[in-house]
Amino acid sequence: MYILGMESSCDETSAAVVEMSDGVRAIRSNIVASQIETHRLYGGVVPEIASRAHVEAISRITYEALETAGITLSDVGAIAVTAFPGLIGALLVGVNFAKSLAFSHRIPLVAVNHIHGHVAAAYLTHPTLEPPFLALVVSGGHTSFYRVTDYTDFCEIGGTRDDAAGEAFDKIGRVIGLPYPGGAALDKLAYEGDPKAITLPSPALGGDTPDLSFSGIKTATLNYLNGMAQKGCEISRADVAASYTHRIVQAIVKKTELALKKSGMRTLVLAGGVAANSHLRTALEALCKRLGVTLCMPDRALCGDNGAMIAAAGYFRYQRGEFADTSLNASANDDGL
Ligand code: KG4
Ligand code: ZN
């Protein structure tokens, strides 16, 4: 069946057509209208601007997705839309558009948790992947470990106590003058620096839990940068990028090993925007090889927000008969996880 997936939780408006059935997981189209250039002017996402840009793009993107897939609305078996978590105004645009489309064309509607969507991107890249597994979702808003026991059953077993890894990358990226969002640029710059040049605190919290905290390393890096500026010393941006990335990746790997041990899972799924980080991918590959654990990561192009991942997650809710109706509302929080 064809699922139309719609995503508008933050700064990408996306619509996609994914074909899903037993043995078939194929992306027929995946159109993403990014607002990054607009928000870059402000150094971060401006919620009101994001909502307006979603309104402007959503209809065009949806029909482009259908046209690229070579189908019409009458071929669509279900519409899946991100309903939470995210920016409330941005989410409402997608939810209301999807509701109108679904009810005017009598197409079943499915509400999708954005986090489940990120994890579902792995099903598209790895056609034989199935639960149970441990999922590590690292994005701009989340850094969490989940025991995934069925396609729609997630249990959070640990994660960050404060900021998300993506947020931490973006913050330091901005401070050292990289364009927003700093994650991808920091990833590249880190190859040019020395990961041992600056001593920074580990984001891995002490104790026997897979928990992290990124506020300490952020503050320590800011203090280092301010201290150097006060002394009139030049800094190496590449050394900052390399040391910061190294410490974050090292902590995530350490806690992933613990989460695997605690959950007893033998498969790890890495998902979310930060899953595109090449240092993290390489380090987790090494960890999983050492532990004999199967690692499934979405293609880098599917790590960021996109409609295809929402369609894939929506398919499994559809299969369970979990439909939404006209009372569907968006929520900024993780309700329903
Ligand atoms: O999942 P996502 O697209 O949006 C949220 O749901 O938050 O994640 C966006 C985050 C941003 O913080 C961005 O800087 C980060 O993912 N990101 C990266 C890389 N590519 C994107 N962080 C580190 N390395 C990358 N290569
Ligand atoms: Zn996301």
pLDDT of 273 above 90: yes
**Helices and strands (H, E) in the chain, number of each type:** 10, 10
Amino acid residing at 103: F
Q: Whose CA is nearest to atom 10 of ligand 1?
A: 140
User: pLDDT tens digit string along 216-263?
Assistant: 999 999 999 999 999 999 999 999 999 999 999 999 999 999 999 999
Same domain, 205 and 241: yes
Looking at the domain assignment, is residue 107 inside a domain?
Answer: yes
pLDDT of 135 above 90: yes
Q: Which tokens is 251 given?
A: 């902590």
Same domain, 292 and 308: no
Q: Ligand 1 within 6 A of 7 CB? A: no
- C-alpha–C-alpha distance, residues 38 and 329, integer Å: 27
pLDDT of 335 above 80: no
**Average pLDDT, rounded, for the chain:** 97
Across the strands, what pairs with 24? 21
- Atom of ligand 1 lying closest to residue 167 CA: 12
Q: Which of 181, 251, 179, 168 is nearest to 215 (CA)?
A: 168
Same domain, 117 and 156: no
Mean pLDDT of the region 41-61 = 96
**pLDDT, position 336:** 52
Residue 242 lies in domain: 133-298
Q: Ligand 1 within 6 A of 170 CB? A: yes
User: pLDDT tens digit string along 276-325?
Assistant: 999 999 999 999 999 999 999 999 999 999 999 999 999 999 999 999 99
Looking at the domain assignment, is residue 43 inside a domain?
Answer: yes
Mean pLDDT of the region 55-65 = 98
Percentage of the chain surpassing pLDDT 70?
Answer: 99
Q: Ligand 1 within 6 A of 166 CB? A: yes
Looking at the domain assignment, is residue 117 inside a domain?
Answer: yes
Q: Which tokens is 240 given?
A: 């900052």
Ligand nearest to the CA of 249: 1
Amino acid residing at 171: K
Mutating to test ligand 1, I would choose from 34, 191, 274 the residue with most ligand atoms within 8 A of its C-beta, which is: 274
- Atom of ligand 1 lying closest to residue 114 CA: 6
**pLDDT, position 16:** 99
Give this prediction's pTM. 0.97
Same domain, 164 and 270: yes
Q: Whose CA is nearest to atom 16 of ligand 1?
A: 273
- C-alpha–C-alpha distance, residues 334 and 337, integer Å: 6
Kindly report the CATH number assigned to the domain that includes residue 271: 3.30.420.40
Q: Which of 285, 159, 273 is nearest to 210 (CA)?
A: 159
- CA distances 281 to 44, 62, 278, 297, 316, Å, are 25, 32, 5, 8, 27
User: pLDDT tens digit string along 149-167?
Assistant: 999 999 999 999 999 999 9
Mean pLDDT of the region 91-100 = 98
> In the sheet that 294-296 helps form, which strands lie side by side, from edge to edge?
153-159, 143-150, 133-138, 267-271, 294-296
Looking at the domain assignment, is residue 325 inside a domain?
Answer: no
Same domain, 113 and 184: no
User: pLDDT tens digit string along 78-91?
Assistant: 999 999 999 999 99
Same domain, 29 and 119: yes
Q: Which of 127, 128, 146 is nearest to 137 (CA)?
A: 146
**pLDDT, position 33:** 97
pLDDT of 327 above 70: yes
Same domain, 114 and 142: no
Compute φ and ψ for 306, nearest 5 degrees.
-160, 160
Percentage of the chain surpassing pLDDT 90?
Answer: 97
- Ion ligand 2, residue ranges at CB < 5 A: 139, 305
Same domain, 87 and 175: no
**pLDDT, position 120:** 98
User: How remote is the CA of residue 304 from the centroid of ligand 2, in Å?
Assistant: 6
Looking at the domain assignment, is residue 324 inside a domain?
Answer: no
**pLDDT, position 334:** 82
Q: Ligand 1 within 6 A of 14 CB? A: no
pLDDT of 337 above 90: no
